[in-house]
Structure 1
Amino acid sequence: MNTASHTATDDILAARDGDIAALQRVLTSSRQNLRRYAEYHCVVNDAEDAVQECMMLVSRRIGDLRVAESFTSWMFRIVKRECNRLKRGMRLLTGDAITEDILPLGHFEPVELRHDVAAALESLPIHYREIILLRDLEGLTIQEIAQRLDLTPEATKSRLHRARVLAREYLES
């Protein structure tokens, strides 16, 4: 391929078809724009985490991309969804409303917080633990979770809500 005619779309198509070097070029060239977008949409300390999660998800799912031209908007949607997931996680842990300018809570030590969250998850019945992990750790959509667990989307939402309520109750006790 002539490098003069080589475009970003060519890299996206090659990455979609499994070319690892093309995927690295696409991710490298997208990183700065993703970071700026994440800084606008995330709580200040979550921007880099959102970008990293986005890049990992893109690496795993780029083969599912149907139209190369929608790649950029797809990545921005992933980053925004990840920012929202991180905000929801903070709300789940604290019970507080999340605003755009919220700063991380100073009274939780990271190790202590990890232990508390792990204990809360362990306290849940397996079907509740599984749905929280699929949604909040793996970032699956309600539809994807419903398919994986052989549930309706409505039942999936209900189970996820109940799991979060139970986890919140555990953390508040």
Structure 2
Amino acid sequence: MAIWKSRKSNSERFKREALPHLDAVYRFALTMTHDGALADDLVQETYMKALAAFDSFQEGTNCKAWLFRILRNTFVNQIRDRRKEVVVEEIPEGLGALWSDSSSFSDPESAVILASTRQQLQNALNALPIDFRTAVSLSDIEGLTYQEIADVMATPIGTVMSRLYRGRRMMKEYLLRQGQQSNSQGKVLSLVGSKTGRGG
């Protein structure tokens, strides 16, 4: 009876702590796989593993970051098992715009420019190598701190900061190559560049 109550309590806590992050976990899975079906499978496996290991989750810590770490490790293991790269065929529709909260910009023009260039930003993000794409996604889309990203990626904070800096710079260079003479794109580049100095 005590074991049954413990399992029931654990299941209820899992629903309360983990399920609210389902959309974010799926979005991160899309960022990693670029494929809706693969993302669905990855999310399902992530939540199965998370439920099985939920006793190890420390209540009061960042559950979303904990789920992201499980997802990333699962994805890396899948890649190793297949011994081949995931082919990027299309831009994931579920990926939100980078820095999409218009309230973070003081002038309406910047918010409009940002909203109108989501596709360009998605393309630039998807062009990054996986480690840089993961770091930028976790920071600028999911809002994780440097320490949380370091925990998810199992790397030192200094490495996270380096990948963020280089990833954002590569995005800026990508946008330059795509249309350096575009006035609106020049403003987007300034927005991307402004993220380089953002703290965690």
TM-score by length of 2: 0.36
